[in-house]
Amino acid sequence: MMASRSPGFGHGSHRGVGLPATAPRDLIALLAVVFVTYAMQFFASTAQVPALLRLDPAVWGRWEVWRLVTYAVSGYGPASPWILLELLVLYWFAGDLRRSLGRRRFLSFLAVPAVIAGAAAAAAVLMPAPLAGPPLGEPFMLMQGQRMLLAVCIAAFARRNGDAVIYLFFVLPVRARAFVWVSVLIAFVGYLSTKDIGGLAGLWVATGVAYWQARPGSGPPSLRRLRLRWQEAVMRWRLDRLRRRSRFRVVDGERGRGPTIN
């Protein structure tokens, strides 16, 4: 579908077009999980496993919130050699991102947009049927599995390597900074044939979040940093609630210290 020519993509053309010089084990493991879960759907004895991992409206209805994380690594699609090409393209783009960020930051970079996009997609399907319309197939088909990972990695590569040249269908040269809009347009065309409003919303949200995360001079928030931010938000919410329900007065503490209740 595409190839790339960039000094930072594949460490130079002498090492191959778009192929990382080395294959990180965690990236290979990620691709293997995607392919294995993809293959499991075609066997009656294992089909239930990817079905429990994929994004589904049950994420809210039955509070199966693990789907917000696992759907991105559960391979999806019909029985077709196309899955191999999707994984190859994912290997190209994810390899560049993995080398730049390292293992932990790479995994958190993928997880944050996927979770946010999953929540946005699950909320989008709650829209009234006359506005969104029922999908013409399985829900969230546009963003399941490797398709979400591709959207995240392509958006990140476009932001970090704006001057790189991506050859769409190995023929049409497109600047990386413009290719992010091509991926947005492709998602919309996919929506026209599937009416998958949740999948469209998820892909657009993931693209935006990943593009923002990859801005120069910044990196994806670590899992520890996200946890601390969440704890801080919960603490502030509890203090605000206490202030409204009691006569206590909450004032800002000294620099480096948390809020104080007087």
User: How many of the other CB atoms lie within 10 Å of CB of 183?
Assistant: 17
Q: pLDDT tens digit string along 139-177? A: 899 999 999 999 999 898 888 877 777 776 667 777 777
Residue 239: pLDDT over 70:
yes
pLDDT, residue 130, reads: 47
Residue 217: pLDDT over 70:
no
Average pLDDT estimate for 95-121 = 87
3 state DSSP class of 4: strand
Q: pLDDT tens digit string along 87-102? A: 998 998 888 888 888 8
Let me know whether 179 and 60 are in one domain.
yes
User: How many of the other CB atoms lie within 10 Å of CB of 81?
Assistant: 7
pLDDT, residue 41, reads: 93
The tally of domains found in the chain comes to: 2
DSSP string, 175-215: EHHHHHHHHHHHHHHHHHHH--HHHHHHHHHHHHHHHHHT-
DSSP 6: B
3 state DSSP class of 218: coil
Let me know whether 138 and 257 are in one domain.
no
Rounded Cα distance between 153 and 206, Å, is: 10
- The more confidently predicted of residues 80 and 256 is 80
Let me know whether 234 and 118 are in one domain.
no
Let me know whether 21 and 144 are in one domain.
yes
Average pLDDT estimate for 22-32 = 86
Give the range of the structural domain holding residue 198, as residue numbers without chain letter: 2-220
pLDDT, residue 15, reads: 39
pLDDT, residue 13, reads: 36
| CATH code of residue 158 | 1.20.1540.10
